[in-house]
Amino acid sequence: MGAPPSASDTAAGGVDLGRSSRRGWRGRSREWKIVTALLRAAEESRGGVLLIEGQSGMGKSRLLADAIEAAAGRGFMLAHGAADEPSQLAPLVPLMMALGESPQTLREVKGPPSDTVDLRLWLIEQLQARLEERVSHGPLLIALDDLQWADPTTLLALRSLIPELASYPLVWILSCTTGHTACGVDRLYEVLQRDGAGRVVLEPLGERAVAEIVADVLGAAPSPELLALTGATGGNPFMLVELLRGLRDEGAAAIADGQVQLVSRRLPRRVQEIARTRLGRLSPHTRHLLQVAAILGRSFRVDDLADMFAEPPSRLLPALEEAETAGVVVPSGDQLMFRHDLLWQAVTETVTMPVRHALHRQAAEMLLKRGGSAIPAAAHLMHYARPGDAHALEGLDHAVGEVLPSSPQSAADLAVRALELTASSDPGRFDRTVTAVYALTTSGRLPEAAEFARTAMSQASQPGQAARLRYELAYALLLAGRPLEAVTEAETALGQPDLPDELRGLAEQVLFRALYACHDYRRGRERAEVIVAAKRDHSHAAQVGAHMLLSYSAWADGRSAGGIDHIREAVRIAPRDQVQARRAHPRLHLAFILTDMRMLEEAEAQLQSASEEITALGHTAYASCPAIFRARLRLAEGRLDDATAEAQAGLAIADEMSMDAFVLVGLAVLMIVAVHRGDMDTATAHAQRYEDRRQAGARFGITWGTWALALLADAQDGPRKALDLLHAAYTDPAEQRYLLMSEPDAAAWLTRTALEAGDRAGAETVAATAGRLAGDNPDFPSLAAAAAHAQGILRGDRMELSRAATTHLGPWSRASAAEDLGVLLAAPAGDSGRLDSAQQGCDHHGSGRHGCDHEAAIEALDEALDGYQRIGAGRDAARIRARLRRLGVRRRHWTQSERPVSGWSSLTDTERNVAALAAQGLTNPQVATQMFVSPHTVKFHLRQVFRKLGIASRVELARLATEHTADGGVTGHPEAS
């Protein structure tokens, strides 16, 4: 682990300025109380996060150093890292520094597959495992400074690791300097603060704290005149100490009558010049050495500095010793660093811009000549290379290739800069353009990728170059959830003559995927059939895309077996292709349509395989897909909490990666869950987000999403509004077939809603289609159950409804059929449907009155109530209780004894299982593997367990679990109840 910074900074004359700074925390008691509270909580096995920000010189680094010192005194394991400007192109520097790791060491221990294109997911997974192993041995403090310079992969890792490790005795203290534009750390802070992190902005020191520091540095309390002078520092601790040191060194202050009095007016005209004044006291040789060192960065290696002067390190010793004695630089591990950011800035600003440019070029050339990583040199070349500099461009090209797998954001910045430096006549311009577009796409900067591709196409000198750029543009548009535009670009690319086979295959794959995302299956079906029929003449990429399109086309035609066969063939072919062409991930789509047919066990297995494949191949753009698709699967299983957890996790990842292709599915899941629970405000909010994404061009899952919108419309405004939204599902045979194939509950719901709206013809059409689908697909019981349910509603057929209530494969579907059966049995003779007026003809005086079957109706409704309550569908359960009251029967909110709100007995079966495994010391991924669920689901349930038991850590959970077992495990433990 990185060593903490020195706890003291002793100036010439023996005054401990570190102690002075720490005494200043008396004036910042709130911040220090937060730090000590976090450390105490970690000693009790609870984690926490503190976010610190403020202007340079306000004491952020001092606070981190003091926190590290305090944690060390409490026996904590320590990890300290910092970002800086020169290293912000290198991925994960602050975290790797803190943990004593490097991407290379991680790869040596357990390397990713050789064809991984994006290592971000894999690296974060490895870091999480490392941290979980360390923190299992006791409390750990991780302090990260200067995160305004952190690379994007570090910020992504922190967004993932901090919530994932929240149940461990792990304290995070993060610090950044405000005022840096386009700094991703602002977004990180906002997300972490929403999740409960403490956040403080270090304000200027108050008068009392200033007086205490004056007394520490100068030996007595300040006179009113001196105190007024210190006000010029604006309460900035660093500038205050610099002022006091200047007064002392120049003999401008003396103690008289127990106070420090000013004896000289010879002071800098501006306090901001204090640092420069101090530098002016150094010898010219030392000043020049520090100016060159500042170009290398706030931290620098002595070897690098020596090479810049073309001298051996021994020749630099006198100047370095003078700089250290003056307190300008201090040791930091195997490097030297400027003692403060303001000092570094002050030194840098003494170098004129032309000289600064020349020194940066010299530093870049020196680093490139050494060989090895090109990233350090690239930090200098980014801003100071000249246009057309072939050597600089070569270095940038190497750096792009080096950093792309682990930090696409940084690679994109480098690639864009390389393009800016490349002349239009340069033969390498096209390759750099493709690289830039690819890096921008991979990093999620899709609008920029599209703009670069379009601009470059207008400048392409050869048709093949324009076609390649059109393919990259089409792919970026597809990921952005704009498939209609992707179709146009892919077709234009394919219209170019003499396309290389590889590029043609990639463009065809994007075309097919964009077409089925738009539900425009017929437009590409003939092309897809030709490819499948003559597969030897076409690339694997084209074959995968063709089979995927034909799968969805078969689905729209109502051919389940054909649809599944095509997608299985795509899954079989995909691994044979190059890694870039495997980005279609047909396993995801196989899981999707298996969920349609309620073949849920196999769908789960396919999603797990797809998730592992996405991580292994580094297809980060698809990182959100397994969670979003699993959310729909959990909804089908009736596990509403799990569905919510997966959908929220998937949407958060999609937002982080700026990939909107599949977000409509996740938002539709959240809508449906909220409607079932009766939370209409939440459902409406999700519907608005859905509409915003749809307006932006997202299309995949739009038919199923419209069904979700109709459920909400029916709940809020009645069946007529729902019919308006689903007009195509009643009037367009293809849309109707597709919806009934995609959602087993749709046939009954559409039939019932049409009847309630007085549209019997629409109800008959839906029921007839459902019957044909069941007849044409006899091997799929979900379709048979859906047809029986729809026919039972339409004809008032008790036998069909009873059959649906027992053969539906989903718990909500079975409860819905039982409800329809109960309503039918409670209705007067000759009436049917879920109409409230139909229930008023039967009362509790006995079965048979007005033709109803009272006892059988109650039994069916009780079955529906139990089903709805088991899955947490509160709105549906409330409707059943209302129906039972009309029949003279009152039911509690639970058919069995109500579950308590806290304690062991309040835990659901899933929560008990999660708690038991976590109490044994298993990590979230390990628990997920044991339970065949995802880590997102485990994290969600673990939070519920902690809330119900009134705890916040795994250690507390293990203790309570042991005590609960010792008590016989019959009732909740008194401490947790």
Helical packing angle, 302-309 and 353-370, nearest 10°: 110
Instruction: Give the range with max mean pLDDT: 206-210, 344-348, 859-863.
Output: 859-863
Mean pLDDT over 119-136 rounds to: 85
Domain 904-966 CATH (choose: 1.10.10.10, 1.10.287.130, 3.30.470.30, 3.30.9.10): 1.10.10.10
Q: Is 904-966 in the same CATH topology as 275-351?
A: yes
pLDDT bracket for residue 111 (50, 70, 90): low
Is 330 within 8 Å of 324 (Cβ atoms)? yes
Which of 674, 665, 666 is closest to 640 using CA atoms?
A: 674
Domain 275-351 has CATH 3.40.50.10420: no
* Token pair listed for 359: 């020194």
Mean pLDDT over 767-790 rounds to: 97
pLDDT bracket for residue 180 (50, 70, 90): low
Does the pLDDT value for residue 270 go beyond 60? no
What is the torsion angle, in degrees rounded to the nearest 10, for the CA atoms of residue 628, residue 633, residue 638 and residue 644?
-10
Higher per-residue confidence, 213 vs 873? 873
Higher per-residue confidence, 432 vs 840? 432
Is 437 within 8 Å of 476 (Cβ atoms)? yes
Burial 944-972 (b: 16+ CB within 10 A, else e): bbbebbebbbbbbbbbbbeebeeeeeeeb
Q: Where are the domains of the chain?
A: 17-201, 207-250, 275-351, 379-609, 610-717, 796-898, 904-966
Mean pLDDT over 822-828 rounds to: 89
Euclidean distance between CA atoms 563 and 321, whole angstroms:
76
Which of 425, 433, 367 is closest to 400 using CA atoms?
A: 433
Write the DSSP string, 47-94: -EEEEEEESTTSSHHHHHHHHHHHHHHTT-EEEEEE--GGGTTSTTHH
- pLDDT given for residue 171 in this prediction: 94
Q: Looking at 325-334, 384-393, 439-448, 931-940, which range is the least confident one?
A: 931-940
- pLDDT given for residue 840 in this prediction: 39
Euclidean distance between CA atoms 819 and 864, whole angstroms:
5
pLDDT bracket for residue 7 (50, 70, 90): very low
Q: CB-side exposure of 946: number of CA atoms within 13 Å?
A: 18
Q: Taken in order 304, 306, 311, 313, is the CA torsion positive or negative?
A: negative
Q: Looking at 297-301, 542-546, 952-956, which range is the least confident one?
A: 952-956
pLDDT bracket for residue 12 (50, 70, 90): very low
Q: Please, which residues have CB within 8 angstroms of residue 768's CB and are 6 or more apart in sequence?
A: none
Average pLDDT, the chain: 85
Instruction: Give the range with max mean pLDDT: 6-20, 631-645, 937-951.
Output: 631-645
Bridge pairing between strands 335-338 and 299-300: antiparallel
User: pLDDT per residue over 652-709, tens digit each?
Assistant: 888 887 788 899 999 999 999 999 999 999 999 999 999 999 998 888 889 999 999 9
Is 546 within 8 Å of 526 (Cβ atoms)? no
Mean pLDDT over 303-327 rounds to: 92
Mean pLDDT over 340-347 rounds to: 80
DSSP 425: T
- Chain center to CA of 466: 34
- pLDDT given for residue 576 in this prediction: 77
CATH fold, domain 379-609, is: 1.25.40
Higher per-residue confidence, 424 vs 969? 424
Mean pLDDT over 260-285 rounds to: 67
Which of 175, 177, 150 is closest to 57 using CA atoms?
A: 177
User: pLDDT per residue over 563-578, tens digit each?
Assistant: 999 999 999 999 877 7
SS3 of 300, please? strand
Higher per-residue confidence, 845 vs 182? 182
SS3 of 173, please? strand
Which of 622, 624, 618 is closest to 653 using CA atoms?
A: 624
Does the pLDDT value for residue 925 go beyond 60? yes
Q: Taken in order 537, 541, 544, 545, is the CA torsion positive or negative?
A: negative
Mean pLDDT over 890-894 rounds to: 69
Does the pLDDT value for residue 836 go beyond 60? no
Does the pLDDT value for residue 977 go beyond 60? no
Q: What is the distance between the terminal CA atoms of the chain, rounded to a whole angstrom?
A: 40
Euclidean distance between CA atoms 416 and 31, whole angstroms:
41
Bridge pairing between strands 140-145 and 77-82: parallel
Task: Please return the burial class of 891, using the count of CB atoms within 10 Å of its CB with bins 0-12, 13-18 and 19+.
Answer: middle
**CATH number listed for the domain at residues 17-201:** 3.40.50.300
- pLDDT given for residue 26 in this prediction: 41
Q: Please, which residues have CB within 8 angstroms of residue 737's CB and are 6 or more apart in sequence?
A: 556, 557, 558, 769, 773
User: pLDDT per residue over 230-260, tens digit each?
Assistant: 776 777 787 788 778 778 877 788 888 888 8
Euclidean distance between CA atoms 385 and 399, whole angstroms:
14
Mean pLDDT over 507-535 rounds to: 91
Note the pTM of the prediction, 2 decimals.
0.77
Instruction: Give the range with max mean pLDDT: 216-225, 544-553, 657-666.
Output: 544-553
3-state SS, 741-789, equals: HHCCCHHHHHHHHHHHCCCHHHHHHHHHHHHHHHHHCCCCHHHHHHHHH
Q: Please, which residues have CB within 8 angstroms of residue 413's CB and are 6 or more apart in sequence?
A: 89, 382
DSSP 367: H
pLDDT bracket for residue 2 (50, 70, 90): very low
Helical packing angle, 935-949 and 954-966, nearest 10°: 60
Q: Please, which residues have CB within 8 angstroms of residue 125's CB and are 6 or more apart in sequence?
A: 615
